[in-house]
Amino acid sequence: MGSSKVRNVAVEWSLFPDGQVEGLGPHGKVMAEEITEFEMRLFEWIRQSDFEEVPWSTKKAAKSFKVKENEIYDSLAALTRKLPNRIQISYADGNLHIAAE
C-alpha cells in the first residue's frame, strides 16, 4: 500500500467568524489565505444560495453587490484558487453552475 497522508478537511479549511480562512500548507504548517472581504461575502452568498432552484446570474450578482460583472468573474476565479475544495464552478449548456460548501 502507498503511504498516503489522511487529510482532515475540517482542520485544513476552517472558516473563522472574523472571515479569516486558514489552511494547512506544505509540510503541515498553517497559513492564512489572502481572501478579500468582497470574496468572502460573495462566497457566503453562494454558499447560502440554491442555484439549482434559482439559476446563477452574474448580472444579478453584480447588481446585488453593486459592482461590475467583471469584478464578480474575477472574484469567482480567485475563490476557485483560494478555496479549491469549497467551491465548484462548471459551464454547461450555455450556463454557469456554481456550488459552495
CATH number for the domain spanning 76: value is 1.10.10
Query: Does residue 3 fall inside a structural domain?
Result: no
Q: How many domains does the chain have?
A: 1
d(CA 101, CA 99): 7
The model carries a pTM of 0.65
Encoded amino acid at 43, one letter: F
Q: Residue 43 has what pLDDT?
A: 93
Tell me the residue range of the domain where 84 lies.
9-100
Cα 64 from Cα 87, distance rounded (Å): 20
Evaluate whether residue 96 is within a structural domain.
Answer: yes
Please indicate, yes or no, if residue 21 is contained in any of the structural domains. yes
Q: Consecutive 10-residue runs of the chain (101 residues): their mean pLDDT?
A: 43 44 43 78 91 85 96 94 89 84 86
Please tell me the predicted confidence (pLDDT) of residue 33. Answer: 56
pLDDT at 75: 95
What pLDDT, on a 0 to 100 scale, did the predictor assign at position 53? Answer: 75
State residue 45 phi and psi, 5-degree precision.
-65, -45
